[in-house]
Structure 1
Amino acid sequence: MKTLADKHNNDNINEELLKQMAYNEKMAELGRISSGVVHELNAPLSVITSAAQLILREKEVPEFVREMVGRIRSEAQRLSQLTRGLLNFSRQDEATEETDINLAVEFILDFLLYEAAKRGVTVLRNLDYHLQAIRMDGNLLKQILLNIIMNSLQAMEDGGGRLLVETSANSEGEVQIVIADTGPGIPEDVQKRIFEPYFTTKKPGEGTGLGLFVTKTLVENMGGRIEVRSRRNRGTSFTVTFVVKDAE
């Protein structure tokens, strides 16, 4: 027989589910709209890039103008690459393919550059560019990285922190991604619960408590594992490990 406490807990869970469903629908609609926005952005970016190239071909352009136009072209190309990456990231279809771990890391770090900057967080990269590509859904990997890195950035709201992302191969030949921050750390009793659904230490409205739960589920569904190490006032590190599978 259900008690009043059980009923209260079920009501809370149902309310959280409804909130999450509404949020997911909002984000899905935003994704559909943003694809059109990205296409609209790519058109002027292409014009800017082409115009900059034409100017740079002129022989009598002053050096300081050439330098400024070169920077304009470089930034336009960077934005164009980012928008194309966002279009690819927003796809809903599954695509298992040879995935370069480092490219996925670099895309997410570039995507979150503003989030890090507004918190005064220094982002460091130590990537092993000799790593073997892995057959997996690259977009799911980006989602995993986005969840963990955003979580680390939110832990350093006070600013002045550092975020280090490393990629490497361990002694078993597995590929590892380590995301370490210098945030306040996670209390030991909380560490045991961070992967539970709906568990969150964030303020109301700042989190659903599903981010790390979804992250762990995705990692394990992809044949990997995720571990966390943390000490109070010494920061937190997440290690994601994937087995390198031979191409089919």
Structure 2
Amino acid sequence: METPADRHIDGAISQELLKQLAYNEKMSELGRISAGVVHELNAPLSVIISASQLIMREADVPEFVREMVARISSEALRLSHMTRGLLNFSSQEETESGGEADVNLTVGFVLDFLDYEAARRGVTLLRKLDYHLPVVEVGANLLKQVLLNIIMNALQAMEQDGGSLMVETLAPEPGKVSIVIADTGPGIPAAALTKIFNPYFTTKKPGEGTGLGLFVTKTLVENLGGSIGVRSTEGEGTTFTVTFVVEG
């Protein structure tokens, strides 16, 4: 028999779900608008880069002007890479589990994309990649989303004290490919470690997280035929390991 307490719990969950759906819809609309803005930014950035390169080819340009133009070109290239990355993430292609992904290229793309976010938090991004690994049978954009969720979680946890984050790719055994994401952050309390993949569970302050990021990440990985594990020590850091089976 349903009790008033049960109805209260169901109502609370429904309200939370409604809030999350409304937020997701808002972010989806914002994403569509942003994709158009980003696309428009690429044209002037291309003109700036081309003009800068033409100026630097001139023989009679003073050295101080050449250095300034080189800086302009470098910053325009950086922004161009960032906007292309945003367009790539906003693409609706590869939303199914099918397709292939080179884990090293995907890791490199995500780390380059998050370089600014890491730098402003005082976090050094490191990579240790095995370039002999086979491709994995997963959609590249879904794999990017998995890595983005895990790494952004780590960066947010390290916001106060900085540190480093290492992403390593390896074959732990024949027929498997793993991506290991290890940070030197504050770690996860033992009591919370068994709950971090539960929906709506979060250790963040109210308003800073939905508690769905790692739940969605685990669901995505398992839907792609993989597995995800975590180990953590308070005060030392956290390590996530994502593993996929590959065809022999």
TM-score over 0.5 (shorter chain)? yes
User: How many pairs are equivalent?
Assistant: 246
1:176 aligns with 2:178: yes
Matches within 5 A, 1:43-122: 43-94=43-94, 96-122=98-124
What is the aligned partner in structure 2 of residue 34 from structure 1?
A: 34
Cα deviation per residue 1:37-60 (whole Å; 9 max; x = unaligned)? 011110110101110121122122
What is the distance in 1 between the residues matched to 2:173 and 2:63?
A: 52
What is the distance in 1 between the residues matched to 2:49 and 2:206?
A: 44
User: Higher mean Cα deviation, 132-141 or 191-200?
Assistant: 132-141
What is the aligned partner in structure 1 of residue 242 from structure 2?
A: 240
What is the distance in 2 between the residues matched to 1:69 and 1:167?
A: 38
What is the distance in 2 between the residues matched to 1:84 and 1:119?
A: 23
Note if contact 2:52-2:70 (Cα within 8 Å) is conserved in structure 1: yes
What is the alpha-carbon root mean square deviation over aligned residues?
A: 1.8
What is the distance in 1 between the residues matched to 2:63 and 2:134?
A: 43
1:220/1:39 CA distance change after superposition, 3 Å = same
Q: Which stretches in structure 1 are left out of the alignment for 5+ residues?
A: none
What is the distance in 2 between the residues matched to 1:66 and 1:97?
A: 45
Cα deviation per residue 1:44-77 (whole Å; 9 max; x = unaligned)? 1010111012112212223443343333323322
What is the distance in 1 between the residues matched to 2:92 and 2:173?
A: 35
What is the distance in 1 between the residues matched to 2:187 and 2:228?
A: 17
What is the distance in 1 between the residues matched to 2:159 and 2:87?
A: 29
Cα deviation per residue 1:209-236 (whole Å; 9 max; x = unaligned)? 1100000000011111100011121211
Q: CA deviation at 1:15?
A: 1.2
Q: CA deviation at 1:174?
A: 1.6
What is the aligned partner in structure 2 of residue 194 from structure 1?
A: 196
Note if contact 2:42-2:83 (Cα within 8 Å) is conserved in structure 1: yes
Q: Secondary structure at the match of 1:135?
A: coil
1:206/1:128 CA distance change after superposition, 3 Å = same
Q: 1:132 pairs with 131, 134, 138, which one?
A: 134
Detail structure 1 runs of 4+ shifted over 6 Å in the superposition. Answer: none
What is the distance in 1 between the residues matched to 2:18 and 2:238?
A: 31
Note if contact 2:85-2:113 (Cα within 8 Å) is conserved in structure 1: no
User: Higher mean Cα deviation, 163-172 or 34-43?
Assistant: 163-172
Note if contact 2:123-2:158 (Cα within 8 Å) is conserved in structure 1: yes
Cα deviation per residue 1:78-117 (whole Å; 9 max; x = unaligned)? 3223212221211224364332222222222222223222
What is the distance in 2 between the residues matched to 1:160 and 1:203?
A: 19
TM-score, normalised with respect to structure 1: 0.92
Q: Which stretches in structure 2 are left out of the alignment for 5+ residues?
A: none
Q: Secondary structure at the match of 2:99?
A: strand
What is the distance in 1 between the residues matched to 2:228 and 2:107?
A: 16
